[in-house]
Every structure is written in structure tokens, then in C-alpha cells.
Structure 1
Amino acid sequence: MSTENVPLTKEELFNELYLATLHRPFKDQYEDKWQEEPFWAAVEVFKAQVKEIGYDDPLDRLKSYRGRETFEKIRDNFKAGPPACLREGWMSPYTGEKIDVLSALEAIHHVRGKKYEGKERIVVLDFWATWCCPCIDLGLELSDLSEKHAGQVAVIGINNEGMLGRHPAMMGLEGVKEFIETKKEHFRYSTYVDNADEYVRDLIFRKTEYVAIPCIVLVVDNEVRFAGSGSRFEEHLDVAFKEVYPKEE
């Protein structure tokens, strides 16, 4: 069924207004680019917009949606700018480190797809959580990648509901399995769930110093070649693929 003409819910419309009025116009205006007056003018526009859809106090929604208690805190976050790892040109300090992927995976739960046996020289580790919508979207691309390069590139999803350290576990192992089953088209690749001690999160993810998910860690011959945004890893994968399979087109 087409969803093109399905109207947005009240919550979805609120989110769109926030992104269009406050987030997108100011997310890149940090540090010496910051201008105070345009931000506060946008706040007033945003207040009027969301009042029209039924939110007398938008901060009630923003507290849960963005973890921001006041517009001053939102302003302060924009002014400070994103963490270093989310800025152009950043490289993870984990790059170049050696990692035993097979040993790490043996300590956690395999829940879907082919179990990794260590045969592929190129490994794409995908760190994600069920509450992360971009993670679910990326899963479709990774599924296609896994099928396209089966036997050459191992794509491995690693779920941890507390990946960023600020979200409580939303569901246990069985709950994650059920979630994956409902999204099975998004997870057509090997998928694992971290153990109760959050072993792989601490062993690999935190060492990348990347503070968002989805987080991709590209490993070639047990060496980390890239760690960071799911939108940036493919160029590094192309380089690795030509290195490992130079005769492949």
C-alpha cells in the first residue's frame, strides 16, 4: 500500500517542524558562525507552529524527544557544535588497531543469519539498537551489500539497547529477537546481540570514540580500516575490496 498520501501524526508533524525550523537551519552554525537573534526568532516561529497543532508547551515534548529542558539548553548545544567525531574530516583513533572479530562474537548471542566463521577477509560490523530509526534504515542497505558480496564480505549486525549509555534496555534478548523478526527484510545478514555485560560494546564500540549509531567498523584482515558513520564507510569499503579482490569488477 502506498504511504504517499497518508497524513502525518501529531507527533510526526511536531518532529518535522522541529527539524525544519530549529534543527536544520542551526545545526551547522556553531562556534564563530553562531548568531543569536535568528535563533530566538526561529524559536518564536516554532512555538506558534506547534501551538497550531495542539502543543501549548513544546518543551513538554522536547524533554523526551531531544532531552532538552529549555530553549537555552538547545541554543547552547547548537552553539557548541557537534562532537569532534561528527565533524568533517574526523578519523577514529581506533583506525589501524588489530581486532579478533571471531573471538569477540563467540562471547555474545547469535540470533539471525549465517554464523560468522572467520572466513571472509573483509568484515563490516554494524552497531545498532531497536530504538534507532536510522539503524533500521541502514539495515536494508547492509542486507543488499551482504547478498551482493556473499562469501567475500561478512556483514555482521551487533545489537545493544544501551549502546550509547543513556538509554535503558528496552527489551531483553527474546524481545530483540521478536523485533528482528518483524523487520526481517532489514536484517538479511548475520546478526548478534551483545551479552548482559555489554562485552562487545566495551571491547569495540567505545574504543572507536564515535558517539552515535549506526556505527560501522570496517575490518580487513583483522585490522580496523574505518570506524564511524554508516553514511561514510562505503568509500573505505571500495578501497578495501579492490585491495583484497583486485581482479573483481
Structure 2
Amino acid sequence: MKQLEPGIEEITERQIQEMRRQGPPADLVESFALPIPSLVICDLLGVPHADREGFQQDTKVLFTLDAPAHDITNAATSIAGYMRELVQQKRFKPGSDLLSDLIAGGELNDEELTTIGMTLLVAGHETTANMLALGTFALLEHPDQLEELRENPALINGAVEELLRYLTIVHIGPTRAALEDLEVDGHHITKGEVVTISLPAANRDPSCFERPEDLDVTRSAAGHLAFSHGIHQCLGQQLSRIEMRIGFSALLRNFPGLRLAVPAREVPLREKALIYGVDRLPVAW
């Protein structure tokens, strides 16, 4: 992940310059938050940049909770077909990317490589894109925290962790089924019953975090569960952290007058998506 930092900084700088060139107002989702992780994951997997619009649209369908079943099936089939073809291309003509390295290892078949590629492609851009946009929205709605971060850029690492805790964009699920009768915190769960784990509730547990409902970029948010826990921790968490650290820092450094271009109530929230965020974030500077 450290080796990817110069490339991420370059991609971020390009998007900043493009925002400057086009001038305000701008949709931060379209011009900044979505392109950066999309382009980074393309470089990591060896996906041509020109193909990103297609998989971005398919991913959006996959994460829409009320999308028709046939649309979800078509989107999943489209991404799988694309990744399967890419794996075959990499077998014939490998490059300097993760898929080519996995193929060179010789331990994975095409089905396994396709599944791994799909997982990384879909999760590797959608989550970070939403954190960049929603995190910026949160900071703009908390000007005291925004100013604290502007005056103390060294707080950025802790601020990223606090935004992850405070926003917890995986706001639905995951679900688990009990393999046996058990008791959890005084609640009896019968074998076979399904439970839903609330990561947002855990990240606002007052026994773990003081004033959990407040956004505080100076606090230690160590122990938050935004990336899950234990063996199920997010595979791409370090990449996401780097992208957010570089992205938020670049925004604050280059646009000291960054502000919402519409009233906050008019920002469309992704309430019907598996990954919480904003559909658009109109900003000016």
C-alpha cells in the first residue's frame, strides 16, 4: 500500500486541477470522490481507466437496496463477465498489476481469480468514494472541526479514524445465523435465528467512546468497527485510509474556501443503498 502512495497523490492532484479548471460549483462526488478510488483500483488490478464508467454503474445497482432483482442479476453478470475476460487477457499478456501477480502464483483458477477481482473492484472504490464525499459533507456541517483540521494538518490520521467511526457507512447488516442456542448480553437467541449486527450502534457505544454522538477530530477513535473486526476485517482498509488521508488533505489545502453550494437539506442522501453516502455533493470555493 505504501508503494501506491505516489500514484494516489498523482491521481488526486489531477482531479484537483480538473476541479480548478472547470471552476465552481462542482459535484464533489463526480469530480473528486468517485474518480480517485476508481482510478486507484483500476491501476491496482490492471483495469483500463476507460472501462471504469461501466463498472461504476453496475456497482451502484448492486448496492441499491430497492433495485429490481433482474437489474441486480444483470449488473452482477456484467461485472463477472468483464472480470473473467480480463483474467483471461492477463493470462495471455500479464502486466505489473495484482491480477497478473496472482495468476503468476499459479494457485488460483479462473473462477477464483474472477471472484477475487470482482470483490476488489466493487468494494475497492464504492466504499472509499462514499467516505470521501460524506466525510467532506460532515466536515462542512461541522465548521469547528473543519477549522481544527485546517489549523492542525497533523491531525489527519486521527480525523480519518473519527470520520470512519462517526459515519460508519456500512449501515445495514451484516447478518448472521446462530449455530446453537446462546445468550448475548441477556438476550436469548435460538439456534437458527438470524441476527443483524449494527456497526453504527457499536461505533456510538458510550461505554467505548465519550460523547459518541459528537464528531471530534481530536479524539482517539481506536477500536471502531467501521472495517469490522478480527479475521473479517476489511481487506482494503489500509488502501482506503491512504486514499482518505491524501484526499481530505488535498481538498483542505487547495480549497480553503470550500463550502456547500446548496443548503444542506438539499444534498441527496443514499438512504436506499447498502453503503451510505450522498448521490451528489454540490460545492463551491
TM-score (norm: length of structure 1): 0.31
TM-score (norm: length of structure 2): 0.28
Higher relative contact order (CA 8 A, sep 6+): 2
Higher helix share: 2
